[in-house]
Structure 1
Amino acid sequence: MAQAQSVYAATLDTVQAEAKAVDRHWLRGVRREAYAAFLLASHTLTERAQSYTVVRVTAENPSSLSQLSAELRIAETSLRGTYLITALEGGAEVEAISFRVMRATLAFGKLHERGAALDQAWANLVDLSESSGEAAVRQHASSLITSLAGLAVAVLDHYPNRAVRLPTPDMPASVAEAARSCPTDFRNLQDLVSEEDRRLLLEIQYRGVVRARSEYENTRLELDTAREEFTTALRGA
Structure 2
Amino acid sequence: MDVAGISAIAAASAAAIGVPAALLVGRWQLKGALAQAEQTGIAGVAAAQEAARAGIAQAESSYRAALDAVQAQANSTREQWVRGVQRDAYAAFLVATSQVRDASDRMQHEYGISEGATPNHAQNRADLRQAMISLRNAKAVVYLESDPFMRDLSYQFSLITELVSGCLESKVEMQEAEYALGRLCEPNPSDSTLRETAETFRDSLRELYQEVVTRSPDGDPRQGSAGLASEILTALDRVHASRNQLPESFPLPQSQLEALERVAFNGQVQMSKQIESWRSQQDEYEKLFIRAARMELGHMDDEDNVDE
Is the deviation greater in 90-99 or in 2-11? Answer: 2-11
Aligned to 1:51: 106
Contact 2:220/2:270 (<8 A) preserved = no
Give the direction of change, closer, same or farther, for the CA distance of 1:132–1:56 in structure 2 (3 Å limit). Answer: farther
Opposite residue 41 of structure 1, the aligned amino acid is: A
- Which residue among 266, 289, 294 is the counterpart of 1:235? 294
* CA shift for structure 1 position 171: 3.4
Shift of 1:129: 3.3
**Amino acid of the structure 1 residue aligned with 2:97:** S
1-structure distance, mates of 2:242, 2:232: 17
Deviation of 1:30 (Å): 0.9
Please state how far the C-alpha of 1:120 moved relative to its aligned partner.
Answer: 1.2
CA apart distance, 1:177: 4.2
Query: Aligned AA for 2:144?
Result: L
Asked whether the 8 Å contact 1:149–1:205 carries over to 2, the reply is yes
How far apart in 1 are the matches of 2:165 and 2:266?
A: 18
1:39-68: CA deviations, max 9, x gaps? 2222222322333244645xxx66955x65
1:179 Cα deviation after fit? 3.7
Contact 1:151-1:205 at 8 Å conserved across structures: yes
Residue 24 of structure 1 aligns with which residue?
A: 79
Q: Which residue of 2 aligns with 1:199?
A: 258
What letter corresponds to residue 40 of structure 1 in structure 2?
A: V
Pair 1:35-2:94 in alignment:
no
Pair 1:125 & 2:125 matched: no
Return the offset for 1:145: 4.1
Distance 1:185 1:80 in 2: 41
Quote the offset at 1:112 in angstroms.
2.3
Which consecutive residues of structure 2, in runs of 5 or more, have no partner in the other structure? 1-54, 297-308
**Per-residue deviation, residues 11-31 of structure 1 (Å, max 9, x unmatched):** 554444333322222211110
Q: Across the two proteins, how many residue pairs are aligned to each other?
A: 232
**What is the TM-score with the length of structure 2 in the denominator?**
0.61
Q: Residue type of the partner of 1:126?
A: G
Deviations along 1:83-138, one digit per CA (max 9) or x if unpaired, are 12212211011111111112222222322222222121111122233475658355
Q: 1:141, 1:189 within 8 Å by CA — same for their partners in 2? A: no
Q: Pick the structure with greater CA Rg.
A: 2
How many Å apart are 1:155 and its aligned residue?
Answer: 0.5
| 1:128-179 C-alpha deviation (Å, 9 max, x unpaired) | 334756583556545554443332121111111124217x996334334444
Q: Is 36-45 or 24-33 further displaced after alignment?
A: 36-45
Which residue does the alignment assign to 1:75? 131
Given the superposition, is the C-alpha separation of residues 151 and 134 from structure 1 closer, same or farther in structure 2, using an over 3 Å criterion? farther
Bigger relative CO (Cα 8 Å, ≥ 6 apart): 1
Contact persistence 2:208–2:232 (CA under 8 A): yes
TM-score for both structures, normalised by structure 1: 0.76
Question: CA separation of 1:200/1:5 partners in 2, compared to 1, >3 Å: closer, same or farther?
Answer: same
Report the residue type matching 1:172 in the other structure.
Answer: A
Letter in 1 for 2:281: E
| 2:219–2:265 Cα contact (<8 Å) kept | yes
Separation of aligned partners in 1, 2:187 and 2:163: 36
User: Greater shift after overlay, 103-112 or 92-101?
Assistant: 103-112
What are the residue-to-residue correspondences of 1:154-193 with 2, within 5 Å?
Answer: 154-165=211-222, 171-182=228-239, 186=243, 187=245, 191-193=250-252
- Please state whether the residue corresponding to 1:165 is helix, strand or coil: helix
CA distance change for structure 1 residues 145 and 163 in 2, over 3 Å: closer, same or farther? closer
Contact 1:49 1:112 in 2 (8 A): yes
